[in-house]
């Protein structure tokens, strides 16, 4: 920090002011650009203080920390993506409670006759259902689980989402979650297009699979996730009304993406991390188009 001595009384020397706030008197200068700065514009530096512009310029040359998988470490420890996904699911659930139409219009459905007597579903020009269904859950009076459906899924997301988001980085985590959810919807569409389904379970199972693969890769404790996964697979096949296609499709998708994330060679890591989700999405699109063509063949 450099300062100017106080001018002697009666001196005609003008009092220096902050370069960003001309009305504020100051005798402190930025140690980098030597401009006068007021307390609001001061930023602590290794020696003295710097102005906000010099600090911003210096930060441009600082390399961001990377996760073990090569993703950019979040600037904040808060798992923003995980909390945002939970928030979206909760808001959508409140919309469901307000109107059944939210479920009817956005649940996963391959093809069926709607209330108005017309065909509805993915095969009838509504492919968005493959995506929107992963944010819907059973209403309190719906099916075997009711409100416990969203409670369990959100608990699972809250429990393992932050750690995966920290290890993968945000965009990889988003890709893993969304593609796992889509994987469940696509498998249901391929195997049983007349069945309806809602829930984030496909995406959650994808996180389970990814957590196991990445944990094994880096020597983490995978026993608890294996136990949780086995219990949920037993429930999936033992309890009527659960879409096993959604769970298995999400699990397989999440595990395969995690393999690409965790085992990509260091030199090709960035390329593979981008290519794997893109190839997965293209594959899903092709499968959906082929199934749609099959379902609509011969329909006028």
Kindly list the catalytic residues.
201, 247
Q: Who contacts 96 (Cβ-Cβ below 8 Å, separation ≥6)?
A: 102, 103, 136, 137, 139
Check residue 158 and report its DSSP letter.
H
113 strand-pairing partners: 119
Distance of CA 33 to the CA centre of its chain: 41
Local structure of 34: helix, strand or coil: coil
What is the rounded CA–CA span in Å between residue 31 and residue 51? 8
Strands (E), the chain: 2-3, 28-29, 43-44, 49-50, 108-109, 112-113, 119-120, 196-197
Which of 275, 82, 39, 232 shows the shortest CA–CA distance to 145? 232
Q: Token pair 């989700």 is at which residue?
A: 277
Q: Are strands 112-113 and 119-120 parallel, antiparallel or unpaired?
A: antiparallel
Residue found under tokens 């009711």: 146
DSSP 47: S
Residue 261: which of 285, 248, 250, 277 has the closest Cα? 277
Between CA 240 and CA 144 the distance in angstroms is 8
| C-alpha closest to that of 30 among 47, 10, 13, 14 | 47
């Amino acid at each position: 920090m450099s300062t100017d001595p106080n001018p002697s009384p009666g001196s005609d020397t003008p009092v220096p002011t902050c370069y960003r706030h001309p009305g504020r008197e100051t005798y402190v200068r930025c140690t980098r650009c030597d401009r006068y700065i007021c307390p609001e514009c001061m930023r602590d530096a290794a020696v003295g203080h710097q102005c906000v512009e010099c600090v911003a310029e210096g930060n441009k040359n600082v390399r961001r920390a990377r996760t073990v998988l090569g993703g950019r470490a979040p600037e904040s420890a808060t798992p923003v993506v995980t909390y945002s996904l939970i928030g979206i699911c909760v808001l959508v659930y409140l919309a469901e409670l307000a109107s059944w139409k939210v479920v009817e219009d956005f649940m996963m459905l391959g093809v069926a006759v709607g209330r108005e007597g017309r065909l509805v579903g993915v095969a009838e020009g509504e492919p968005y259902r493959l995506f929107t269904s992963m944010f819907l859950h059973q209403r309190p009076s719906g099916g075997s689980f009711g409100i416990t459906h969203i409670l369990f899924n959100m608990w699972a997301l809250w429990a393992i989402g932050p750690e995966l988001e920290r290890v993968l980085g945000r965009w990889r985590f988003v890709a893993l979650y969304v593609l796992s959810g889509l994987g469940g919807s696509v498998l249901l569409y391929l195997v049983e297009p007349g069945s309806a389904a809602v829930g984030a379970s496909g995406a959650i199972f994808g996180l389970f699979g990814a957590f196991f693969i990445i944990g094994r890769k880096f020597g983490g404790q995978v026993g608890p996730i294996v136990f949780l996964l086995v219990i949920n697979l037993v429930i999936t096949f033992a309890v009527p009304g659960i879409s096993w296609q959604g769970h298995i499709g999400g699990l397989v998708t999440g595990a395969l993406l995690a393999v690409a994330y965790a085992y990509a060679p260091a030199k090709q890591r960035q390329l593979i991390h981008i290519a794997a989700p893109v190839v997965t999405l293209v594959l899903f699109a092709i499968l959906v188009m082929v199934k749609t063509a099959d379902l609509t063949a011969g329909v006028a």
